[in-house]
Amino acid sequence: MKSAKSARLAAIGATLTLAVLTTAGPANADVPTAAGILQAGAQQGIADGYPASIGMVRSGASTRYVSAGTGDTATKVPADPKAQFRIGSNTKAFIATVLLQLEAEGKLSLDDTVGKWLPGAVNANGYDGNKITIRELLNHTSSLPDYFTSATVYRSYASNSEPHRIWPPQTLVDLGLAQHQPTSAPGQKFSYSNTNYILAGMVIKAATDNDPATEIQNRIIRPLGLHNTSFPTSDPALHGNYLHGYEYLWLGSVLKDVTVSNVQAVGSAGAMVSTLDDLATFDRALITGKLLPPAQETELKTTVPTGNGTTRYGLGIGLYQTPCGQRVWTHTGGILGYVSTWEISDDGSKQVLVANNEDHLQENTKGQTDIQKGANNAFCAL
């Protein structure tokens, strides 16, 4: 599962120091104009080949939705901006939030080593979990390779040939460690790796005796009333009102429905399902400090350079400067069949979210670039 890797981080600010940010922009946010810009971006996404594109623009209590295309190519049902979709690596912000809450409760420290909580889990090919901290997992400075580059995982997942295959988290970690020996010391540099968040989910399990899905349900989904958000752990299908997900095969000549896909292959790195509304509610609560005490909010927003211009990375969230100079908190989730991005101002007053229902696990496609341009321009109009 790719998402918010270095190339995409630079390109779209997410699939992204420490300071209280002020967002430059017009005193009176022009939500209708921003929505019109986002709508044009969605329509361009359809021209680029997305079956559907949906989005949301919010300033304060004013919200506008946009949509283009069809949520189901078989029935030709128009895309519903209230529909569910797989959020991919936007799951990472939920995982980071739980670990920060556990730290606030004194149940662990982000400076604890991985080895303390998961003895022997990282102990191969030159990697040592006793030298890697939880914080370094969350900000992608652990030096651990991405298990998703393993042909074993990638081929199974990308082909969608084994939607029910069981992938134990430790198996994913082991496949990651086998990719190559360390190229840097822990804490030395940023390198996006889904292995980090598989391990982060394992730490949650070790510290609470609950799966990450249970902790997220109890700590975030239920308290915030995110009624259309879930963390599937075995069921590969979507239920209720949802966008079908698709991938292009054979150089874009065949569009395949991949709505039913393996969730264990992505796990705590990207298995969650949500909606624009729910994701916007979570993002606003997180960025404005409603989910974390001040000390942990500071940790959340302490960023490291990614090596790509103004883009920086905190704990499960990115910090990005839009082309018009506004700084936004952001992340992208690219997963089989779906890609989504959110942007929010530091005070939580301004938000733009977009989701599209085609992803064939390639980065920086024309559709991704055009949709992100629309999102950036919409945010700049707020």
The answer to whether residue 274 is catalytic is no
Inter-CA distances, 266 with 29, 48, 334, Å: 38, 27, 11
Catalytic site residue from 89, 193, 230, 340 = 89
Compute CA 17 distance to the chain's CA centroid, rounded to the nearest angstrom: 21
Rounded CA separation 10/50 (Å): 22
DSSP string for 338-382: EEEEEEE-TTS-EEEEEEESB--S-SS-HHHHHHHHHHHHHHHH-
Kindly report each contact of residues 256-259 with a partner whose C-beta sits within 8 Å and lies 24 or more positions away, as own/partner. 256/160, 257/73, 257/74, 258/160, 258/336, 258/337, 259/337
Structure tokens at 222: 């239920």
CB atoms within 10 A of CB 18: 11
Residue found under tokens 């909580």: 117
Catalytic residues, by residue number, are 89
